[in-house]
């Protein structure tokens, strides 16, 4: 039935989602050009509120759980699994007070209303996967901005989306590079559930009635640990959380 209702409700979802992107593109431009970073960020936060809750049009439930007392005066590297593009609006909206910046493919900085503009001017890292020197340079610049502004970063450590919900092994490179620049950053795992189900039939129809959930897990103790150990610990924390859900 979730596929049947998906055929009915997906067009309404896409209309609302697309209109949100188109409407907020000039709003972002005005905020950034005339009022600077704070106004631009507020416009991006508002956009991602609408993008996050557009999933209600697909009968989805939206749950964000954060029981951690995370600091606002220290850079944070959030490490998460990645299931679909619909992971991202919720992370931006629910973690907005931490000024979370993303690492994105440079190709995404062109042609997508609102999203491309934010990637170009929002302070994240836009990397060329075919140019390792450029990618490392962008990550170093991101790390410096995190250090200077107490910003945070979000890393999807699998390197690509787990389209069937099965987590892939985490990669070390991005986190290791950021930690060289921001060694005192707090490492916080985030577990994402069920967004892959939303797109299990592809882009159309979307699946109706899925339970979307983001859970912030306890920060890791990284003292005397190398990047490989840190990444493995983050991976195991997320994997354990997702396995607990499957067992219920």
Count of all residues that appear for the chain in the document: 248
Domains, the chain, with CATH or none:
2-247 (3.40.1130)
Predicted local confidence at residue 162, as pLDDT: 72
Q: Is the pLDDT of residue 123 over 80?
A: yes
Average per-residue pLDDT in the chain? 93
At 139, give phi and psi (nearest 5°).
-65, -40
Nearest to 62 by CA among 87, 38, 40, 80: 87
Tokens of 234: 């983050």
Predicted local confidence at residue 246, as pLDDT: 61
Instruction: Spell out a b/e string for 194-226, using b for 16 or more CB atoms within 10 Å of the CB, else e.
Output: bbbbbbbeeeebbbbebebbbbbbeebebeeee
Q: Is the pLDDT of residue 245 over 70?
A: no
What percent of the chain stands above pLDDT 70? 98
Predicted local confidence at residue 225, as pLDDT: 87
pLDDT tens string 50-82: 999 999 999 999 999 999 999 999 999 999 999
Q: Where are the beta strands (DSSP E) in 67-114?
A: 76-80, 100-105
Tokens of 46: 């508002």
What percent of the chain stands above pLDDT 90? 86
Predicted local confidence at residue 247, as pLDDT: 55
The average pLDDT across 108-120 equals 95
Cα–Cα distance measured from residue 46 to residue 187, given in angstroms and rounded to the nearest whole number: 26
The average pLDDT across 150-174 equals 87
The average pLDDT across 15-40 equals 97
Q: Is the pLDDT of residue 33 over 90?
A: yes
pTM of the predicted model, to two decimals? Answer: 0.93
The average pLDDT across 194-204 equals 94
Q: Is the pLDDT of residue 22 over 80?
A: yes
At 101, give phi and psi (nearest 5°).
-110, 145
Instruction: Count Cα atoms within 13 angstroms, Cβ side, for 154.
Output: 25
The average pLDDT across 119-135 equals 91
C-alpha R_g of the chain: 18
**pLDDT confidence band for 224 (50 / 70 / 90):** confident
Q: Is the pLDDT of residue 163 over 80?
A: no
Predicted local confidence at residue 194, as pLDDT: 94
């Amino acid at each position: 039935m979730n596929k049947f209702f998906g055929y009915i409700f997906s067009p309404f979802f896409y209309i609302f989602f697309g209109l949100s992107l188109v409407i907020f593109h000039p709003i972002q431009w005005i905020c950034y050009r005339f009022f600077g970073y704070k106004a631009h960020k507020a416009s991006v936060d508002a956009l991602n509120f609408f993008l996050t809750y557009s999933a209600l049009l697909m009968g989805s439930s939206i749950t964000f759980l954060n029981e951690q007392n995370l600091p606002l005066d220290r850079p944070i590297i959030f490490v998460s699994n990645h299931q679909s593009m619909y992971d991202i609006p919720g992370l931006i909206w629910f973690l907005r007070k931490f000024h979370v910046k993303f690492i994105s493919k440079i190709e995404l900085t062109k042609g997508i209303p609102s999203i491309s503009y934010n990637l170009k001017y929002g302070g994240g890292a836009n990397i060329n996967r075919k140019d390792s020197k450029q990618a490392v340079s962008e990550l170093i610049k991101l790390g410096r901005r995190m250090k200077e502004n107490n910003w945070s970063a979000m890393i999807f450590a699998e390197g690509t989306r787990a389209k069937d919900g099965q987590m892939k092994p985490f990669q070390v490179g991005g986190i290791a590079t950021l930690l060289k620049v921001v060694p005192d950053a707090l490492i916080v795992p985030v577990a994402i559930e069920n967004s892959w189900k939303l797109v299990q039939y592809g882009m159309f129809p979307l699946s109706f009635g899925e339970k979307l959930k983001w859970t912030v897990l306890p920060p890791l103790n990284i003292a005397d640990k190398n990047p490989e150990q840190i990444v493995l610990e983050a991976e195991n924390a997320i994997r354990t959380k997702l396995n607990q859900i499957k067992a219920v």
